[in-house]
Amino acid sequence: MGIIGGADGPTTIYLTAKLAPHLLGANALAAYSYMAMVPLIQPPIMRLLTTPEQRRIRMRQLRPVSPREKILFPLIGSILIILMVPAVAPLMGMFMFGNFMRESLVVKRLSDTAQNALMNIVTIFLGLSVGATMEAEKFLTVKPLLIFSFGLLDFVVCTFGGILTVHIMNLFIKEKMNPLIGSAGVSAVPMSARVSHSEGLKADPDNWLIMHAMGPNLAGVIGSAAAAGMFIAMFQ
């Protein structure tokens, strides 16, 4: 339920297959339901926890990133995270491998296939295989309903926590950050970042937050994968 609350569908499926295969269908449905409901769930919380002035905060333009940095990031990031949490190696390795292929610029055909055709094929087979586990006697019970309820509560808590974290950080830094980007600290990529950007535009039509919000959004992916690895190490 913790991973579901982070809006991370693939990690939820991987972790459930390892620790609770009988709940695979319920967990997958819950995780992807919350990912789809990001534009409905997050905006009211974002407006509740921020003032119009805070939503209009403009952040400094990001610095240019060199091609070398883009190549080194997936290599160094995957090595460090896998050394700290070895159980997360399959998840983190595949995530960083995709980034490495894209940024290396030498396997463009493979990168395009992975981003489009292969992704669609895997999604179809994943949906069919997970759907096949949703037997009525396992799915139409109290436990899946509890998973849905606690997962929704966790997702709301994650959104609250992200925004409050930015508020706390703004107490100690001179150049204030827009609190809206805190809600993007979940794994719904790029939906949460787009929602943060959209709410910023409503407050100020010239306030572009999308790339700033993608930072915590990707950090949410990496963090949820690392948390899943810790769960596997502790409970498997």
Judge whether residue 123 has pLDDT over 90: no
Q: What is the pLDDT of residues 98-109, one digit of tens each?
A: 888 888 888 899
Judge whether residue 145 has pLDDT over 90: no
Global confidence as pTM = 0.82
In the predicted model, what is the mean pLDDT of residues 55-62? 86
Q: Look over the chain and give the mean of its residue pLDDT values, rounded to a whole number.
A: 86
Q: Please report the pLDDT score of residue 164 as a whole number.
A: 94
Least confident of 3-12, 131-140, 206-215: 131-140
Q: What percent of the chain lies above the pLDDT cut of 90?
A: 25
> Given pLDDT bands bounded at 50, 70 and 90, which one contains residue 197?
very high
227: left (phi over 0), alpha (psi -120 to 50) or beta: alpha
Judge whether residue 29 has pLDDT over 90: no
Judge whether residue 194 has pLDDT over 80: yes
Q: Do residues 15 and 3 lie in contact, with contact meaning Cβ atoms separated by under 8 Å? A: yes
Judge whether residue 169 has pLDDT over 90: yes
Judge whether residue 154 has pLDDT over 90: no
**Does 190 sit behind a cis peptide bond, omega within 30 degrees of 0 on the bond before it?**
yes
Judge whether residue 134 has pLDDT over 80: no
Judge whether residue 17 has pLDDT over 90: no
Please identify which residue in the block is written with the tokens 């703004």.
Answer: 170
Q: How far apart are CA 38 and CA 193, in angstroms?
A: 10
> Given pLDDT bands bounded at 50, 70 and 90, which one contains residue 25?
confident
Q: Do residues 213 and 75 lie in contact, with contact meaning Cβ atoms separated by under 8 Å? A: no
Q: How far apart are CA 142 and CA 91, in angstroms?
A: 30
> Given pLDDT bands bounded at 50, 70 and 90, which one contains residue 81?
confident
Q: Do residues 232 and 15 lie in contact, with contact meaning Cβ atoms separated by under 8 Å? A: yes
Judge whether residue 18 has pLDDT over 90: no
What is the largest distance, in Å, between two alpha-carbon atoms of the chain?
57
Judge whether residue 93 has pLDDT over 90: no
